[in-house]
A = this chain, B = another copy of it.
Amino acid sequence: MRRLLVGLAAAALAATMGTALAQDKKTIGVSIPAADHGWTAGVVYHAERVAKKLMEEHPNLNVIVKTSPDPASQANAVQDLETQGIDALVILPTDPDPLVNAIKEVKAKGKFVALVDRAPSNNDDSVRDLYVAGNNPALGEVAGKYIAETTPNAEVVIIRGLPIPIDQQRQDGFDKGIDGSAVKVLDRQYGNWSRDDAFKVMQDYLTKYPKIDVVWAQDDDMVVGVLEAIQQAKRTDIQYIIGGAGSKDMIKKVADGDKMVPVDVLYPPAMVGTAMELTAAGLIDQVPVNGTYILDATLVTKDNAEQFYFPDSPF
């Protein structure tokens, strides 16, 4: 009889604890683009890496990561996550404006929404609680300043991205960075953030300009195309190239002391992880996280490269 009572008490205790645990269980849904190029491949890698870490650190936290190739399927993914019963949504939109309605539906149900990187035209707290993004003007400015300080008389060719606002912000930042120096910009053509297009633009530059000191390509994927064009042309006048983002291969070159890639400027795909960490901190540890968080465009040098190096990442 005594044994039975103890057994019943234990069962009751287990049931009570089970209920308490179930009540405390929190779920974060993470909606990101599919790995359609280097940077988004990095986003997928870091979202999955940080999801695993957060679940290890918080036994009552569940993190679901969903990737989507386009806005229409991402809107469905957001709806799916909502149906599964999430407490918070972290979203890096494939394209923000077509996703505003899907995001607002989640927010209208009282769920926390963290928006990463790509902001809709109307980016205020009616759309999201937290906004985490890189710093596009600073990405250009940091590169420009480095060139002005390191090679004050450099003749520079620039490979732009696509003709959209963030590219313009980077260009304006660069011009601010070299302002007052003797750095001369020879040319600025669009390379569309594509390795192949950057290769072609660089081939043109090499034909057109007999002497080039520095290339600012503002994107690590494009640097790969630039390096290949220089190698094929066997040109030895180019002193160095500056990219941007913080890809594994470029960070490795910086860490190894490669003279052609002495620095990189950070616009890290791991920022999705930063938003996930904050979302978890707000849900579980009750710290205030609503706000706007602009990450620095940190200059990556031989000295600090190690902390931005992820050997297992695809990017």
Asked if A58 lies at the interface with its beta carbon under 8 angstroms from chain B, I say: yes
Chain B, Cβ-Cβ closest to A286: B307
In the complex, which of the residues B57, B271, B292, B293 contacts A57, with contact meaning CB atoms closer than 8 Å?
B57
Contact (Cβ within 8 A) A290 B298: yes
Within 8 A of B (CB), among A257-280: 266, 268, 270-271, 273-274, 276-278
Tell which of B273, B285, B288 touches A287, judged by Cβ atoms closer than 8 Å. Answer: B273
User: How far, in angstroms, from A276 to B278 measured CA to CA in the complex?
Assistant: 11
**Residues on the B chain within 8 Å of A54, using CB:** 285
Query: For residue A129, which residues in chain B have a CB less than 8 angstroms away from its CB?
Result: 296
Chain B residues within 8 Å of A266, by CB? 288
- Counting chain B CB atoms within 10 Å of each CB, the highest count among A281, A295, A310 belongs to A281
Q: Report the separation of the CA atoms of residues A291 and B129 in the bound assembly, to the nearest whole angstrom.
A: 18
With contacts A58-B57, A274-B281 known, is A268 near B288, CB below 8 A?
yes
Give the residues in chain B near A64, CB-CB below 8 Å.
none
Report the minimum CB–CB distance from A88 to chain B (whole Å): 12
Interface extent on A, as a size class? 35 or more
Contact call B295/A288, Cβ cutoff below 8 A: yes
Q: Is the CB of A287 within 8 A of B274?
A: yes
Tell me, yes or no, whether A125 is within 8 Å of chain B by CB: yes
Known: A57-B57, A291-B293. A285 touches B298 (CB 8 A): no
Q: Are B50 and A291 in contact (CB under 8 A)?
A: no
CB of A40, distance to nearest CB on chain B (Å)? 16
Chain B residues, Cβ within 8 Å of A186? none
Interface residues in A119-148 by Cβ distance below 8 A to B read 125, 129, 135
Known contacts A277-B278, A277-B281; A270 and B288 CB within 8 A of each other: yes
Q: Is the CB of A274 within 8 A of B296?
A: no
Does A289 count as interface, using CB distance less than 8 angstroms? yes
Chain B residue numbers with a CB within 8 Å of A296 are 125, 129, 290-292
Verify if A53 is at the interface (C-beta below 8 Å from B): yes
Contact B295 A270 (CB under 8 A): no
Q: CB-CB < 8 A to A286: which residues of B?
A: 270, 307, 310
Cβ contacts A297-315/B at 8 Å (1 or 0 each): 0100000000110100000
A294 in the interface (beta carbon within 8 A) = yes
The 20 listed contacts between A and B (C-beta, < 8 Å) are A53-B285, A129-B296, A135-B291, A268-B288, A270-B287, A271-B287, A271-B288, A274-B278, A274-B281, A274-B287, A274-B288, A277-B277, A277-B285, A278-B281, A281-B281, A286-B310, A289-B295, A291-B293, A292-B294, A293-B294
Q: What 9 A-B pairs come out closest when comparing CB atoms?
A: A291-B295, A273-B287, A277-B281, A293-B293, A290-B296, A274-B287, A268-B288, A57-B57, A291-B296
